[in-house]
Amino acid sequence: MPPRKAHTTRRTPAKKSGVRRRLLRLLVTGVPVLALCGVAWLWLESVRLTRIEIVGARQADPGELRRLAAVDSGAALFDLDPALIADRVARHPWVQAASVTRWPTGTLRIAVEERVPVVLQMDAGGRPLRYLDAEGYGMPPGRGPVPDVPLLYGVRGPAHPMRPLEDEPVRALLTTLAALEDPARALISEIVRAPDGEFWLYTTPAAGQRSVPVRLGREDFERRLRRLVAFWQQAVLTQPHKTFSLIDLRFANQIVVREEAHPSTQKSAMGHE
């Protein structure tokens, strides 16, 4: 058999002209795009920081947050690292989280989420020391409205401004308090940790009742506080003629109370649950 001829494809003049037109279109459209990108890059490089906007700061001083951000006016805005600036701002004791946005107008926007105080920790002399949030982080007195939270006595620390309280029973109590609804939280006026480690709380005077001491114990705070709220609504508020001098929550299935009229007797005011 004669050898097969190799098949070759030849571009006709019409095909060659079509290829040239496509290349020409790419050049015509691509060059302006590249030029535009270059102009945009140069424009971004020319944007300077003219303003720092602080959003969400109620207790934290905006001036302190700007100092922590550590950026200079006139700096190239889009050369600044938002993550680095947010990390610096989050070192403020009141700031739980921060985010940073750079605007082409020259504004650096710093949005902060502040910690929510749960108690006001008092020192050994009975003076305000710091607020504590649900995780045990400490915050100094702020610049905004004074938070309406219970006072906490008999607790030390935290010693480090960037670390939470290491006392596990106290942290467990703080977590429980933070989860309470507002009416239940308003029931508690003061919390005292006795030298033996046991917690006592004192109710807010209301409905003809003086502040009542409540023996909370050392554990199971969530369940015990739920029982206290239920008892207060069912037994205390419905009996304004009675004066309670003690409420003991340490027992598993009952609440033991003492009435002022009969200080030598104790009785169960709530039976098995």
Domain assignments of the chain as residue spans, ordered by start: 46-114, 119-260
Whether pTM exceeds 0.85: no
Could you read off the pLDDT tens digit of each residue along the chain, which spans 273 residues?
Answer: 555 554 444 555 555 556 556 655 655 555 554 445 455 445 566 789 999 999 999 999 999 999 999 998 888 999 999 999 999 999 999 999 999 999 999 999 999 999 999 999 999 999 999 999 999 999 999 998 999 999 999 998 776 778 899 999 999 999 999 999 888 889 999 999 999 999 999 999 875 678 999 999 999 999 999 999 999 989 888 888 888 899 999 998 889 999 875 444 444 444 434
- Superfamily holding 46-114: membrane protein fhac (3.10.20.310)
Contact residues for 70 (Cβ-Cβ < 8 A; gap 6+): 85, 88
Residues 109 and 264: their CA atoms lie apart, in Å, by 64
Burial class (CB in 10 A: 0-12, 13-18, 19+), 164: middle
Domain 119-260: give its CATH code: 3.40.50.11690
Q: Do the first three CATH levels of 46-114 and 119-260 match, i.e. the same topology?
A: no
Contact criterion met (CB below 8 Å) for 240 and 208: yes
Length of the chain: 273
Beta strands in the chain (DSSP E): 51-55, 95-102, 107-114, 117-122, 128-133, 138-139, 151-153, 188-193, 199-203, 213-217, 244-248, 255-259, 267-270
